[in-house]
Amino acid sequence: MSDFLLEARNVSVTFGSGSTKVEAVKNVSLTLSAGEPIGIVGESGSGKSTLARVLAGLQPPTEGEIYFNGQPVYNGAKSYTGEARRQVQMVFQDPYGSLNPQLTGLSAVAEAVRIHDKCDKKESEVRALELLKRMGIAQLDALKKPRQLSGGQRQRVSVARALSANPTVLLADEPTSAIDQSAQAQLLNLFRGLLNDGLAIVMVSHDLGVIRYLTKRVYVMKDGVFVESGVTEEIFNDPREDYTKLLLASIPGHLGTAARKKLHG
Amino acid sequence: MTTQNPLLSVKDVIIGIPHRRRETLIIVNKANFDVSSGEMVGIVGESGSGKTMVCRAIIGTLERRGATVLEGEVLFDGHDLAKINEAQWKKLRGKSIGYVPQSALAGPNPVLTIEAQLTEALRNTGDTKNIKARSKELLDLVKIRRVDTVMKQYPYQLSGGMRQRVMIACALATSPKLLIADEPTTGLDVTVQSQIMELLKEIRSSMGTSIILISHDLALIDDVCDKVVVMHAGATVEVGTVKDLENPLHPYTVALNSSRIDVAAPGSELVTILGSAPSVGQWQAGCRFSLRCGLVQPDCSVGEHPALIGARGSHQTACLHADRLKGAGAR
Amino acid sequence: MSTATHTEKNKVKKYRKEGTLGLWTGFGMLGAMILAGALIPRLSKYDPNEPSLIPMLAPSRANFFGTDSLGRDIFVRVFDAVFVDLGTAFIGVSIPLVVGTIIGTLLGISRNKRVNSFIGSLIDGINAFPFLIFVIALIAFIGPGIPSIILALSLVNWARYARIARTRAVVVNQQGYVEAARTLGFSKKRILFKHIIPNVSSETRAYALSDFIIVIIAVAALSFLGLGSKPPQAEWGAMIKDGAGLLPINIWWPTVFPGLALCWAGISVAFLAEGLNRRLREVNV
């Protein structure tokens, strides 16, 4: 039914009804192949987070279908089941809400490892520590509760937790928005490493700088629809839509300055 | 940029939190920089670098957090802000110095309409005539359209970007000489961020207001500021113009520059800074960047934190071995 | 003012955590009372229920708190009442806490509109009534006695916990870690019991502590009205009522000592609650 690893076909998501109807996503289609990094860029309110949650199986679409490995994902309100469920994981935007405040980083990741590897408690902790180490979280920090960790550290613990399922697709919803520039660089390096390991990543962001760094293809989203899409480098060098040009001009630093020059001649 | 009689001069400031049962906790040691009239200065550093605390010292809200300036001077317009009392603060705070807080944290009072907020801010000037007209002028100044509608609205009805503009408008009510914007665009979309930066630049050029912009994003500061102050673990480690910082003289600045994604080639390895800044209370001797520095020498880890080398107003650095950096990390 | 050098700062002096004083005081006071409640009735030579002494004797070395109108030693009665009052209040808080938290949580995460609005209205309805009056009305229906108090309290109080739990559950349900648990394929049972309920109950448990004080007083108040413990069982509220009639003739001891016991209980729990609050606040900063 679908040749791609993950595909969305004519997906729409509408919340509420009558006077309070909100069309968050309107007739959107996208594809993702194995090991590919793609981006969905747009401002807040564009519907990109909703779309990410639809792809993750957390939000059933009002219309349209999602296919994973050729199979439809949604069956009524139910989504990914069995083997497929572990293959598609997500990292959320707010580092402060993405970890259970009562669990240490180690417990959180070990719990996920236990469920997926079906090993005993001790073994799961060993594997969890290793995973956390790969994410740059030292053993000392793994034993801390989330409130004792920085935003960047929390994000990395979340990534470790997501990776414990050994996924083939990672959806990242604005993972760098709430953290420092230096922590951002660490996280992006991490993602780059995961790409090299063969993971497919969908990066949702409002910052084209991040998209440019990490992705090969990008979809530009505004008010629930894709206004432009294509190869990331081409979008940067030759944006067609005004909205895309606006986004480019807003990137802080040199990229933005260059884009602004092009915009104003 | 001349530093003869700068508008604001932060000299060797040390800020700490005295505690009745423990030792005084030092959070800034030492901060050093000047802001001239009409200048836009960016203070960049990671969370915990002390950049916000220094600005709290400038607007006098340290007491509320139990902190106080232990040493040094904060000279503004003839007063030493480190030594004035609350009564004197009432005359200064919010009048000659304005403050715009982080967008995510504070914001307009949720139970007051925008008109009410502006009225309060304008009352501060002592002149109560024509408040409504002046309120509308302020909203105009921050480029808010549909002024009449917005005046009657409540903060929850406005977007994050518009709320920040209202905060800027309130801060500008008294035509302050200095405006401090503390991470004003954190949590806002880049498009909104870009607009707010444009706004600040315009305010600077049209009203001659000096602006201190606090951020963790070097790329942003690079875009809009004239001068940059780099802070790490409570100390000022480099000061210079934006052009100066194209050839940074401190390993920390070099690292910050190298980790910028706007200059990195797509898919390349981003240079990151090892570890994290030592947290307050766990500062080691000597230069507090030494544990993360690639050029560390034995003399970097002893004694007091290195002071800024170089004359005030020139390109200063707190690295004892800055000469080894010449050329490295240049953009 | 001198500035501490870097090397000095490395010596972190040992210091007491915030709230410790409150916690120790509270625990100490409550613990002492419970210990006394266990030991004194056993060790005393007086029987708390036998009217064997001369009534209305003033406090003396023989009878620390004096005797009441029926000739019973008040000292031993006050402590005999500890388990009744504190125990009833404890159960009267625990049951609503557990029931309310579970119902409120399930309501907060449920997407079934009809169930949600039905039980939701029930909760709001119960909460709208003045607490004590509702309880009294229920007891009038069920009949007096300690078990009735517990039943009535449970039937009324669960709604307050449920409301808190429901609000909190809605928030928790939307948090990243719960959504992550879903994408990670955790079972619904695991998500509910390991992730949602613990983070909801942190709020209801905090409420329970301050509710405890209210319920202690409520239990005493209900017994004062004659709806509680059956005589001759000692109980602070009932003792206060018995002694109330004697106040005009300056016989203060049958009323004051049980009253002080009530205060002691309430204050010790207040210390505990405050100490806990401070400790949690410091940790979260």
Mutate to test the interface with B, among A205, A251, A260 (most CBs of B within 10 A): A251
A158 close to C (CB below 8 A): yes
pLDDT (average), residues C97-124 = 92
Chains that touch B (3 or more CB pairs under 8 A): A, C
Nearest to A80 by CA among A60, A50, A101: A60
* Per-residue pLDDT tens digits for C168-225: 999 999 899 999 999 998 999 999 999 999 999 988 988 998 899 999 999 999 888 8
Token digits of residue A203: 């990066």
pLDDT (average), residues C102-109 = 93
What are the beta bridge partners of residue A263? none
* Residue A99 distance to chain C (closest CA, Å): 5
Sheet containing strand B79-80, strands side by side: B25-35, B8-17, B68-76, B79-80
Interface of B with A (CB under 8 A): 46-47, 160, 186-187, 189-194, 216-220, 222-223, 255-256, 259-264, 266-267, 269-273, 276
Nearest to B316 by CA among B247, B249, B261, B227: B249
> What is the percentage of chain B residues whose pLDDT exceeds 90?
14
B202 close to C (CB below 8 A): no
Q: A156 to each of A40, A58, A159, C184, how far by Cα in Å?
A: 21, 22, 5, 16
Mean residue pLDDT across chain C: 86
Residue of chain B minimizing CA distance to A43:
B189
Least reliable range by pLDDT among A155-164, B296-305, C154-163: B296-305
Report ipTM for this prediction.
Answer: 0.87
pLDDT confidence tier of residue B102, bands split at 50, 70 and 90: confident
* Per-residue pLDDT tens digits for B125-163: 777 788 888 888 888 888 888 888 888 999 888 888 888
Chains that touch A (3 or more CB pairs under 8 A): B, C
Compare CB distances from C185 to A86, A90, A158 and report the shortest one's residue: A86
A vs C: CB pairs below 8 A:
63
* Per-residue pLDDT tens digits for A35-48: 999 999 998 889 99
Question: Cβ contact (<8 Å) for C195 and A158?
Answer: no
Nearest to B231 by CA among B274, B288, B294: B288
C188 close to A (CB below 8 A): no
pLDDT (average), residues B247-267 = 84
Question: Cβ contact (<8 Å) for B23 and C4?
Answer: yes
Nearest to B70 by CA among B33, B62, B78: B62
* Per-residue pLDDT tens digits for A173-223: 999 887 878 888 888 988 999 999 999 999 999 888 889 999 999 999 999
For the cut 50, the answer to whether the pLDDT of residue C13 exceeds it is no
Token digits of residue C52: 């064997």
Instruction: Quote the pLDDT of residue B105.
Output: 67
**Which residues does B184 contact at the CB level (< 8 Å), separation at least 6?**
B100, B101, B102, B103, B164, B167, B168, B196, B200, B213
> Is-cis flag, bond preceding A121, omega within 30?
no
B vs C: CB pairs below 8 A:
36
* Per-residue pLDDT tens digits for B7-43: 899 888 888 888 777 778 888 888 889 999 999 999 9
**Distance, CA of A129 to CA of A118 (rounded, Å):** 16
C176 close to A (CB below 8 A): yes
Mutate to test the interface with A, among C113, C168, C184 (most CBs of A within 10 A): C184
Whether residue B189 contacts residue B196, with contact meaning beta carbons closer than 8 Å, is answered with no
Question: Cβ contact (<8 Å) for A98 and C180?
Answer: yes
Mutate to test the interface with B, among C2, C3, C5, C15 (most CBs of B within 10 A): C3
* Residues of chain B neighbouring C15 (CB-CB closer than 8 A): 21-22
B20 close to C (CB below 8 A): no
* Per-residue pLDDT tens digits for B41-97: 999 988 778 888 898 888 888 877 788 888 888 888 878 888 888 888 877 777 888
* Residue B303 distance to chain C (closest CA, Å): 8
pLDDT confidence tier of residue B245, bands split at 50, 70 and 90: confident
Mutate to test the interface with A, among B189, B242, B268 (most CBs of A within 10 A): B189
Please give the distance of CA B129 from its chain centroid, rounded to a whole number.
33
